[in-house]
A = this chain, B = another copy of it.
Amino acid sequence: MRPSGRQPDELRQVRLTRHFTKHAEGSVLVEFGDTRVLCTASVEERVPPWLRGNRRGWLTAEYGMLPRATGSRNDREAARGRQQGRTIEIQRLIGRALRAVVDLEALGERQVVLDCDVLQADGGTRTAAITGSYVALADAVGRLLRDGSLRRNPLHGQVAAISVGIYRGEPVLDLDYAEDAEAETDMNVVMNDASHFIEVQGTAEGHAFRRAELDGMLDLAQKGISGLLEAQRVALEE
């Protein structure tokens, strides 16, 4: 039934390539099928002005899409002089998701910036970005622990995200672009490795959804996210 031939509860192939670029403290290319996002974690030994002197760190995220990551070219946001509403929403979501697993006091007075840049888009870029950013963040934190900048690990959990939706009347997991463009409902779910929710964002695109449909989507999401958490662990052990 799905354009890709996948089962309703089947993820696309997930790949997490660490050390994709050489400068960043963490650099991961995450692929959910044809969706490819480069996530880098940059450590900066300073915090934003409003946090100075509080002995706490900060973590923030920025998101961008290369102009031709998509089927037709989008304007370059830097040239237009401002980020779109969609971009702002996504980068705020990524930041909140990752902060949910970081002890900012343990991080010390420094900042981690996660840059998520979409090289190729095929649906689910924000969930791929969250999932990949966790690995980039873990690499950056690992480096700080190894070089003695941090004494204890500020990460108190794993975080991953997946989309679910109602496609042709049925709940499906990890929508690709062909499904997303047609879905009646689209939901992004962020969870940690205790199987608790960090963020749930569901939107009716076509008709409003019933409580039972919501429950079905949440079940799928829980299942999909355990697969992603496992993929993160495997990647980090390599």
Residues on A lying within 8 angstroms of B by beta carbon are: 21-24, 27, 34, 36, 38, 40, 42, 44, 62, 64, 66-73, 76-79, 81-83, 85, 87-89, 92, 96, 100, 113, 115, 117, 119-121, 187, 191-192, 194, 196-204, 207-211, 214, 218, 222
Contacts and interface: CB of A to CB of B under 8 A. Distances in A.
Contacts of A211: 197, 218, 222
Those 5 A-B pairs whose CB atoms lie nearest each other, nearest first? A196-B208, A77-B78, A40-B68, A42-B73, A200-B202
Nearest to A75: B62
A199 B204 contact: yes
B67 A78 contact: no
17 contacts: A21-B69, A23-B69, A62-B79, A66-B117, A68-B115, A81-B81, A81-B82, A88-B89, A96-B203, A194-B208, A196-B209, A197-B210, A197-B211, A197-B214, A198-B203, A200-B214, A211-B222
A84 to B, nearest CB: 9
B73 A113 contact: yes
Given A22-B34, A38-B66, 19 more contacts: A21-B68, A24-B73, A27-B68, A38-B119, A42-B72, A42-B73, A62-B67, A68-B115, A73-B115, A76-B115, A78-B87, A82-B82, A85-B89, A88-B89, A197-B202, A197-B210, A197-B211, A200-B202, A211-B218
A205 to B, nearest CB: 9
Nearest to A201: B201
Contacts of A120: 21-23
A22 B71 CA distance: 9
Contacts of A78: 64, 76-78, 82-83, 87
A200 to B, nearest CB: 4
Chain B CB within 10 A, most for which of A36, A83, A120, A204:
A204
Nearest to A159: B208
A61 to B, nearest CB: 11
Chain B CB within 10 A, most for which of A34, A72, A202:
A202
Contacts of A115: 66-68, 73, 76
